[in-house]
Amino acid sequence: MALLPILHWPDPRLKTVAKPVTQFDARLKKLAEDMAETMYDAPGVGLAATQVDVHERLIVIDVSEDKKGLMTLVNPEIIWASPERRKYEEGCLSVPEIYDDVERPAQVRVRAQDVTGKFFEFDADGLLAVCVQHEMDHLAGKVFVEYLSTLKQGRIKTKLRKRAERAL
């Protein structure tokens, strides 16, 4: 397995819409394994292929306390979302150390495939629902800060730019 470089917002590649996975092979399995290793190392609770500059519909998620609840979702789709909405504080590996509230459906039902192509469905609420929706946004070329005001986005860009300049 290998750690993959994570793109940082506002990198334009994060706006790329991911294409459906059609080949369920060893390459896909290795990519999912590398993404999981990268997510755990970061550390994070979710990672979309878009964030590692692979524009395919693949996400990995683990919201468990013991980090033994890894879920790999290929070609995920939300097939139902509750009318009830909740605000959660979100962060993102592509926008390091930035957190803000985003309102999303409180519960969702997801249909996806595993790395072998087998379909499955599950219901999610709480952190899992937030994480699934957040990562699926990445597959659609959207980063959570785009839910924030233009003013907040500008402040975040300035903060990230200054942090990058200090790192040089």
* Max Cα–Cα distance, the chain, nearest Å: 47
Task: State the Rg of the chain over Cα.
Answer: 16
- Is 131 annotated to bind a ligand? Reply is no
Active-site residue among 37, 97, 121, 135?
135
Cα–Cα distances (Å) from 109 to 76, 78, 97, 105, in that order, read 10, 6, 29, 11
Please confirm whether the linkage preceding 96 is cis (ω < 30° from 0). no
- Is 55 annotated to bind a ligand? Reply is no
Q: Which two tokens stand for residue 144?
A: 């959570």
Active-site residue flag, 146: no
- Is 138 annotated to bind a ligand? Reply is yes
Instruction: Tally the C-alpha atoms within 13 A of residue 26's C-alpha that lie toward its C-beta.
Output: 1
Q: What residues act catalytically?
A: 135
Annotated binding site: 92, 134, 138
Binding-site positions for Fe cation: 92, 134, 138
